Amino acid sequence: MDYMKLALELAEKYRGKTSPNPLVGAVIVKNGKIIGKGAHQKAGESHAEVFALKEAGENSKNATMFVTLEPCCHHGKTPPCTEQIIAAGIRKVVIALQDPNPLVAGKGIARLRAAGIDVQIGQRQAEAQQQNEVFLHYIRTKTPFVIAKAALSLDGKIAATNGDSKWISNEISRQKVHQLRSFVDAILIGKNTFLKDDPSLNVRLEKIWEGPQKIIIIPKLDIAAQEISNKKVYKNSITRSLIIACHHDFLTAEKKAEFQEKKIELIAVAGKKNAIDLSQLLYKLGKKEITSLLIEGGSKIFTEFLQARVINKFHLFSAPIFLGNAGIPFLQDLQINSIKAAVKLQSIKIDKLEKNVLWTGYLK
């Protein structure tokens, strides 16, 4: 049996629930039998190794542990996993991926080896990296992993000329979108999408819930807080305040008081006249422990994020329809004058969703 594959599968069950921590799974094996398994389920709660050790109990002595990420060796919200592994008498630890977190970063491996434990690294490393791409990016950059999602016609439009976009994609694609929303920390739209669509930005799967934290970019802060409070996005910001990102030149004392009264959080950043500095915005979101950000439009926002080269991953749902030249395009002018200069995606994955096609790729 592939025990590391099982550990990865255990970790995957808790996608969207462990932020800002990584996804981690662990399996303990002795004499060819699984005696313990576990996964990290929520930030602040026990790590995967602890669950596995608890299930294995005294039988852990001289057993082998398979874990998807290097065990921690520092005191955080929970005690160091390395000390519990050592105390349990584990003989060998097989690790998929070294943790880049400066608090760990090889120190956990060194601690285990110093205690006489045989440590092997790199089994299913590529899969472990893919699984924790959000965490790895966040730890290295202190900014969210940015995902752009859009539903497109075959001629690259996200809406008809009147702004109608319901529904370009099919039901299966829409369910995929709600699943994607359930996995991220925050979701972002621009002013035009906010006003034209009045979206809920909630999650509608087995049950309906508010979903990730919601962010709207309104550079000039030229929409009254009262008007915003009447919209679905505001009403669906229950446990976490709605965030409005704006240009700092437009954030007056009066505006602060107006938005504070409605419990709307304002993030002011530098920028040009009609736009904000997206890198600075992402840095400020990272300070709030937002590790992943889903962009859902509109055209102006997609273009600005792409031009700033701050999109990490794309989920593009393609439907077999044409909307013509008057339709609203996915992207505005990128000022690209040759094929050679085109923006390129890599590591492309293609999934057929009945009559729709999902293109997943990374910005090269």
Nearest to 88 by CA among 134, 49, 125: 49
Q: Are strands 213-217 and 243-247 parallel, antiparallel or unpaired?
A: parallel
So what's the pLDDT on residue 102? Answer: 80
So what's the pLDDT on residue 49? Answer: 93
Query: Whole-model pTM above 0.75?
Result: yes
Q: How far apart are CA 358 and CA 277, in angstroms?
A: 30
Nearest to 137 by CA among 147, 152, 123: 147
So what's the pLDDT on residue 161? Answer: 75
So what's the pLDDT on residue 77? Answer: 65
Q: How far apart are CA 343 and CA 364, in angstroms?
A: 8
Percent over 90 (pLDDT), the chain: 80
Residue 203 has pLDDT above 90, yes or no: yes
Region 301-314 average pLDDT: 96
Region 152-180 average pLDDT: 87
Q: How far apart are CA 241 and CA 244, in angstroms?
A: 10
Q: Give residue-wise pLDDT tens across range 120-148.
A: 999 999 999 999 999 999 999 999 999 99
| Residue found by looking up tokens 């819930």 in the block | 209
Region 188-212 average pLDDT: 92
Is 49 marked active-site?
yes
Region 64-69 average pLDDT: 97
Region 105-114 average pLDDT: 90
- Return the SS3 of 124: coil
Residue 165 has pLDDT above 70, yes or no: no
Average pLDDT, the chain: 93
Region 38-66 average pLDDT: 93
Q: Give residue-wise pLDDT tens across range 224-254.
A: 999 999 999 999 999 999 999 999 999 999 9
Q: Quote the tokens at residue 121.
A: 């690294």
Annotated active-site residue in 12, 49, 227, 265: 49
Q: Give residue-wise pLDDT tens across range 69-93.
A: 999 887 666 678 898 999 999 999 9
Q: Are strands 157-159 and 328-329 parallel, antiparallel or unpaired?
A: antiparallel
